[in-house]
Structure 1
């Protein structure tokens, strides 16, 4: 008899296998390519959210430094 919880945990914790292999061996996966596409979409969304945060943070930080130190070469916003 196969312990599904132990099997799933072994799959999730494996560091030696490719993502495609891990997904294909997961007992809940019915369509490997569909699942890989979903994972990529979720990761892209996370990257976009982080990139937007980082860009906004850098802009705000730059504006604050510019106001505080009046750094030459940085445009003053009106």
Structure 2
């Protein structure tokens, strides 16, 4: 879950790349553009998002703004 107070210049990368999350492997992130190209969905926004996530150092920075979902079965801790 993205920190709701996150201000990002443009769209947040994980919001743009469907199927890619902080839990995705580095290989999945690297392959994302090829999947999107096959589906004719590799837009300029997707390219910018992928550029933010394809380098490990930059991806770690992006991940600082994401809270892990640690609730059992993906729940919301009863809220």
TM-score, normalised to structure 1's length? 0.24
Greater length-normalized contact order (CA 8 Å, ≥ 6 residues apart): 2
Structure showing greater Rg: 1
TM-score, normalised to structure 2's length? 0.24
Higher helix share goes to which structure? 1
